[in-house]
Chains A and B, each alone.
Chain A
Amino acid sequence: MVVDLSVNVGGLKLANPVMPASGTFAEGLAGVIAFDSLGAMVTKTITAELRGGNPTPRVAEVRNGMLNSIGIPSKGITYFLEQTLPFYRQFNSPLVVSISAPTMDAFAEAAALLDVDGIAAIEANISCPNIEEDGKAFAMNAVSTSQVVTRLRAATSKPIWAKLTPNTGDISSVARAAEEAGADALVVANTILAMSIDIESFRPTLGNIMGGMSGPAVKPILVRMTHQCAKAVRIPIIGCGGISTTEDAVEYMLAGATAVQVGTATFLRPKAMIEIIAGLSTFCARKGIGRVAELTGAVVELDMEMSASEALP
């Protein structure tokens, strides 16, 4: 059985639903996997200005996951356009460029600079500190999400993917705000704010004290958020968080994701994305599913009332 793996993410047709998560993918991986096999390529977040990133140690392991406080070291957008973009232009998979900025205006300016050939979409990493809001991430509340996405929408004709943060109390309203402001898709989501301490040295394990948690341990939390967002909006959702196997990717799609991003798993198994793409064909064929897109949102909702009354004595 030939399975159609293609999906449509807000008008952008991808050959398959699997792509890297920002910050876990770069040129070096091209030595190990074929980039043209990926549904899309997603860059590490870049900023217009030069940035150094955080102090080391920048990563620490926890059970079934990791913490990182890389920060966003960036050589700037001009460097990206001149030095990095030509590398990615060798490949046919669509290139998604992740951007960030400390203010709304700077965000819009960054997006405008990237309105060039060879870039298929802009992923707005609105999970980083917004200096106009005392360092709270834009995506921590619906109002700043709406404002920043509105500016981005006006600044570029490229599709905009808004990458949300799980570090908010109400991700559904943030998702709705992004949709209403003109986002073409949502990435759900970035890392979960976390901390760990080395009990021998009494020191935090990260130089930056706190960092973002990712890897298998975060998956159930982000599957839940993907599901909540899928219920709240009509634009496609790209699920992200702890995906390392085909089964994980299927779970996100059932929860409502149209596509998935694989992050930390690539550090442990550089071919993870390729294995997941192959696995999706095998899975769909086994289930008699002709198009992988049929998985999106196909979770069977339990009938809560009936289960509750059946549980009564």
Chain B
Amino acid sequence: MQSMLAPSVHDSSAPQGDVDDVVATVVSHQRVNAEYNLLVLAAQAPACNAVAGQFFNLECPSDGDDQPFFRRPMSTYKADPVRGEVEFLYKVTGAGTRGLATLNAGDEMRILGPLGHGFTLDPAWKNIVILGRGVGLATLAPLAELAAANGVGVTAIISARGPEQVMSVERFSALGARIETVLDSDGSSAPDNVEAVLRALHGQGYADALFTCGSNRLMLLMQRLGAELNIPGQVAMEQHMACGLGMCFCCVRNFKVGDKVDSRRVCWDGPVFDLQEALSW
């Protein structure tokens, strides 16, 4: 495990652990709902050693007019070194993910990873809050497992457009996580309500740290509350990527460090960053 969010996390020469470009085989590929697919791949180490918050650069097949040139970054939804498997939960949005969606059991594909710096847990934390929306939940689900394995209690606030888009509930509840679902369809996902939920959790001692991914609005909300209530936090961020290995400098975002603005590579310095250092995206 990496240590706490120490400055070394952002050192350009920080080691990432073992990385390789390997050929993985599709074990299964299923639709989860109208938009999301679950891809399970057989891949030996180091791929199946990915930790919560790390990601892979996936080679997506071409299909007709869809000819994705770059690989596509995708978070690890689950990595299991015992079974030698790694899973991805993804949303079909464009040429790359439409290509991915054509894969069938038995097909082979190249995957580069595990990449980036994942989430870190401070041994002092007893209870954490995870707030995610959409594919952000794919990134956060392994964090719940990491927390459970370390005896840390989890509250998962799952935000979605409507009940059909709610995902990963079984993953979180199997770990004994407390689950709150907030929806656009009944208005419960509105910032005021989410803020009230977070304040209540904090009041009950369930929020030693805050984690989020997948929504700029939710990140800003957590950032504001974290600063006000003095709760540490981490956010997993996204940016267009080409190499995934810190070479091309296309995936930069700005972060505030003290009173300075620092430009960092999401693939190499992140994708997980200190919540208070992140700037709006």
Contact = CB atoms under 8 A, between A and B. Distances in A.
A28 B268 CA distance: 8
B150 interface: no
A293 B246 CA distance: 33
Given A28-B268, A70-B249, A267-B243, A83 B13 contact: yes
B246 A28 contact: yes
A29 B245 contact: yes
Interface stretch (B62-70, B166-174, B222-230): B62-70
A91 to B, nearest CB: 14
A215 B112 CA distance: 20
B180 interface: no
Contact of B247 (A29, A87, A215): A29
Interface string A18-43: 00000111111101100000000000
B16 interface: yes
B239 A56 contact: yes
A32 B250 contact: no
B148 interface: no
A271 interface: yes
Contacts of A220: none
B69 A61 contact: yes
B71 interface: yes
B21 A270 contact: yes
B243 A65 contact: no
B202 interface: no
A27 B249 contact: no
B209 interface: no
B112 A270 contact: yes
Interface in B230-266: 239-240, 242-243, 245-250, 252-253, 263
Interface in B6-22: 12-13, 15-16, 18-21
Main secondary structure of the interface of B (DSSP, over half): loop
Given A28-B268, A32-B20, A87-B13, A59 B248 contact: yes
A167 B110 CA distance: 35
Given A269-B21, A269-B110, A59 B247 contact: no
Contacts of B110: 269
A296 interface: no
A271 B21 contact: yes
A61 B245 contact: no
A68 B248 CA distance: 9
Contacts, number: 97
B208 interface: no
Interface residues of A, number: 34
B252 A53 contact: yes
B249 A56 contact: no
B247 A266 contact: yes
Contacts of A44: 247, 249
B69 A31 contact: no
Nearest to B18: A31
A57 interface: yes
A267 B246 CA distance: 10
B145 interface: no
B13 A31 contact: no
Given A31-B16, A57-B240, A26 B246 contact: yes
B242 to A, nearest CB: 5
A99 to B, nearest CB: 17
A61 B219 CA distance: 29
B71 A268 contact: yes
A52 interface: yes
A62 interface: yes
Contacts of A62: 69
A31 B248 contact: no
B21 A70 contact: no
A57 B248 CA distance: 12
Given A53-B263, A59-B248, 16 more contacts: A24-B248, A25-B247, A27-B12, A28-B16, A29-B247, A31-B15, A31-B16, A32-B21, A53-B249, A56-B239, A61-B69, A61-B70, A63-B69, A83-B13, A267-B247, A269-B110
Interface of A: 23-29, 31-32, 44, 52-53, 56-59, 61-66, 68, 70, 73, 83, 87, 215, 266-271
9 contacts: A23-B248, A27-B12, A28-B243, A32-B21, A44-B249, A58-B249, A66-B69, A270-B243, A271-B21
